[in-house]
Structure formats: structure tokens, C-alpha cells
Amino acid sequence: MRHGWIDASAGALMSIDGAAAWADWEHAKAPWLQDANRRAQVLLVDTMLRALPDILNQKRLATDAMFPDSSLRLVEGIYKNNLVADYFNAVLSDVLLAYLGQRLAQDPKARIRILEIGAGTGGTSAQVFAKLSRYRDHLDEYCYTDLSKAFLMHAQREYGPGNPYLSYQRFDVGLPIAAQQIAAGAFDVVIASNVLHATRNIRTTLRNAKAALRRNGVLLLNELSDNVLFSHLTFGLLEGWWLYDDAALRIPGSPGLSPQSWKSVLEDEGFGLVAFPAAAAHGMGQQIIVAESDGVVRQATPFIPESSGEPLRAPSGQAEQKPAEAAPPPTGDLVRDKARSYFRELVGETIRIPASEIEACEPLERYGIDSILVVQLTSRLRSVLPDISSTLFFEVQSIDGLIEHLLATQPAALAALLDLHEAAPGDLAITAALLVAASAYRRRESRGAHRRSDFSSLDPKAASQEITLADALNLARDLRVATAAE
């Protein structure tokens, strides 16, 4: 309505000439692309606008468009290397330096620990690292965290080599810190840039962030201060944007909080000396907030059902100990076993953890595979198998789920991928031969000639793809059982 695209009286969309609108956009876009301060925004909006019909029709995921092949290049330039982002990041870094200067003036031996929440591609971190170099000897740790492991891998590559104090950790600020390997009261400074608004409940989020701070520790926020169309056409298409359940605290129609709202909620949550060092620039759509913790920690206690002896599930990212008596994956099914080790390797390589740490039956989410890494995993899978849809990993949650899906939908391709038609040592060769036999059995069966003795003359190399591998496996298993019984 604000832009005249919705008829205020009828509440209906105004009809527009699509071709003319695209022509206008192309015309306006050309000079913006030449402007280094606008280029990243324009490229991102352009990409998302083109994908918008498919996203709204649920044919394509917004993350798929925003992170093509899991690349972070389209979003990286939004948070750095443009005047507005650089200005707010500079203010935040200067406040951090001022704090460090004061702290070390009071206690020259102080060892400083910094936690960054939702560090993402490091728009803020990069500036902070550049300025931190002079305090390098006083830094115990800079813990680079994010909900998505994709960003931790990015940070390790980009910032690891030049910043030896860096550690990396998955952390969801929407959850209590205790189960997430974040030490309570251990950090002097917590930084969160353009992230806290993306959580369900700001009070809970602030309590979790505060739990990591020591008494008088400082929370440094870089946050939205306005509701703008750019955000709606880009990050507004991601689920996280609409997660909030505390609309009364937010700017109407947006997850952002106004400076007044931040001040009041921070004070309610036991932060003192709330200050806005970039107040004069709030009109540019961002704000920097500084707040000091009073050291009181409030954390939700995990709910443990009385009657259940079940251990609590660790949150995603936490290395959960499997009970010693946990059932091993089913054995005796060589195709599934071979597929399991193949896909554990593939997943492990994609997210850079040893395959030995991956359980095929566990949800992939547990290993940090989220909507961004899923794009990468999907494209990895596409390089070895045909017909992998971009929503596959939203339908199957584990490696075992993936294997069952492939057995049901493209068994021949799976068998080829696993080299099941080649002679292989031991049992595998038997399974492969049985698969071929089963395939031929089906062909003969359809011609009415299926005597068991016919199998012996079959050429194991003559693999046919006319039956499903699942069928063949069942038959192969039956044949093995029958043969053993004879």
C-alpha cells in the first residue's frame, strides 16, 4: 500500500505490466551496479526477484536462490565493503577497542575472551579482527559462533590463518547455553551483529546471550532500526525472519526492534548503562547498542519427563554420547552397508567431519547440516547421481533415509554408483551376482520360465535395470536363505 501496489480500499493487488516493470528495473539497475556501495544489494535483490515466483509457489527454496551451490558470495557484500555496513561495524569495533583499552588500563594482566553470536560471513568480525591486532597478546579467545556450520567452515578458511585466538562453535542463541558447550559467565564481551532479531523471543535470546557474559561484561549489538522493502525481498523470504512470537516488542511488520524497545527490554533483563553510540545515524536503518550485564543469569531448565528413562537429546551440534548398548546398524544387507559407508564419506567430506563420527540413522541436522549446507550436499549428490531434487533433504532426514529413498526411486543408478555390478570381493560379489540373477529371474518369470537351475548359467555382467534394486535385494535375500536351507 505504501508503494501503491496494493489497492488500499479493496485490499487487492494492483495489476501491473510485468514486462514494463522488468524494463524499469533493468534501467534503474544499470547505474546502481556501477556503484560499489549498492552493487551487492542490487545483485541480491535481482536474484531473489527472479526467483520469487518459484519461491512463492514452493517450487524452490529461498536458501537455494540466496546461497547458490552453498556459496555465500551473494550475501557477503551486504554486511561489509559498503559505506553503511562499514560505518556501523566501525562504530561497534571502536566501542570494543575503547572497552579493551579501559579494561587493560585497570588490569594490565587481564586476559580477554570474546564471543560472537551469528557471526555469519564475518561482516562485523572482519573489521573487529583488523582492529584487534594490537590487543592480540591479551586475547585468550575469540569464539566465532553461528547457527550454521557453513559459516564456521567459511570463517576457518577466511579468518583462521591470520587470527590464532579464534575458536569455532555452533551456537543457537535461542537455546540455553549449558548444553551447547558455551561456558557460563566466561566472556568479557558478547558481540551480535544483525542476528538477535532473527530469533523467536528477544527476552529468551537476551537471557541466553547474558548467561555467557561475566558480571559487568558488555553486550555489543548491531541491529536493524527500520522496516525496509529491501529486507522483505531478501532476508524476509527466509524462515528465520518470521520466527518471532513477541510481535509487541518488534517494529510492526518486521522482526527488528526500535531503539526504545531495545532499551526497555535490555533494562528489564538486567542490562545497565544501555547506550546508542551511533544514534545520529539511525536514519540509515541500523543501530549500535551497548549494554552492561549485572551478572544475574536466567536460564530455562531442560524439561525431563518423569516417567521416561530416555536420555535428553542434545541440541543439534552437540556431540551426543550414544548409549553403549545402542543397537548397531543392521548388518547382513550388503548393499545398504556399502551405501552407508559411501554416503557417510560423502557427507563427512561436505561438512568436514570424519565419516567415522557420522551415524547413518541420525538426523543430518545433528551434524550441522542446515538449509545452507543442504544446498551444498544436494549439489555434491547431483554430481554422482541423476534426478536429485533440491528438496530431497527436506524429505529424507538421515543417511539411512536417503538410502531407502534411492533404493525405491533409482536403484540402478545407486547400484552403479556403488559398483555393485562389478565383481567384488567376498559377500559383495555374491550379492552382486544375486542381483543379476534376480534381474534375469524377473525377465524369465515374465516369459513363464523360472526354474531355479536357470540361475547358474547367468552372466553376472549382464545386469539389467528392468527391476528395482529393492525387489532384487529381497529376492537375493530369499535366494540366499533358500540356498542355505538346502
Ligand X SMILES: C[S@@+](CC[C@H](N)C(=O)[O-])C[C@H]1O[C@@H](n2cnc3c(N)ncnc32)[C@H](O)[C@@H]1O
Binding site for ligand X (CB under 6 A): 79, 117-121, 123-124, 146-148, 151, 171-174, 193-195, 198-199, 240
Judged by beta carbon, residue 221 or residue 467, the one nearer ligand X is 221
Judged by beta carbon, residue 183 or residue 429, the one nearer ligand X is 183
Q: Residue 140: enclosing H or E segment and its boundaries?
A: strand 139-146
Identify whether the C-beta of residue 202 lies closer than 8 Å to the C-beta of residue 249.
Answer: yes
Q: Which residue type, as a one-letter code, is found at position 445?
A: E
Cell 542434545 belongs to 314
d(C-alpha 477, C-alpha 11), whole Å: 63
Judged by beta carbon, residue 132 or residue 414, the one nearer ligand X is 132
Judged by beta carbon, residue 121 or residue 227, the one nearer ligand X is 121
Q: Residue 54: enclosing H or E segment and its boundaries?
A: helix 39-56
d(C-alpha 81, C-alpha 41), whole Å: 11
Judged by beta carbon, residue 93 or residue 121, the one nearer ligand X is 121
CB of 311 to ligand X, least distance (A): 24
CA neighbor of 429 nearest in space, from 343, 340, 334: 334
Identify whether the C-beta of residue 394 lies closer than 8 Å to the C-beta of residue 385.
Answer: no
CB of 154 to ligand X, least distance (A): 10
Cell 532499551 belongs to 263
Judged by beta carbon, residue 117 or residue 412, the one nearer ligand X is 117
Which three-class secondary structure state does DSSP give residue 168? strand
Cell of 296: 544475574
d(C-alpha 276, C-alpha 290), whole Å: 6
CB of 41 to ligand X, least distance (A): 13
Identify whether the C-beta of residue 291 lies closer than 8 Å to the C-beta of residue 271.
Answer: yes
CB of 148 to ligand X, least distance (A): 4
CB of 180 to ligand X, least distance (A): 10
For the chain, how are helix, strand and coil distributed in percent, rounded to 5?
Answer: 50, 10, 40
Judged by beta carbon, residue 123 or residue 217, the one nearer ligand X is 123
CB of 209 to ligand X, least distance (A): 10
CB of 356 to ligand X, least distance (A): 27
CB of 152 to ligand X, least distance (A): 10
**What are the Cα distances from residue 84, in Å, to 81, 278, 341, 351?**
9, 12, 48, 33
Identify whether the C-beta of residue 333 lies closer than 8 Å to the C-beta of residue 473.
Answer: yes
Judged by beta carbon, residue 44 or residue 399, the one nearer ligand X is 44
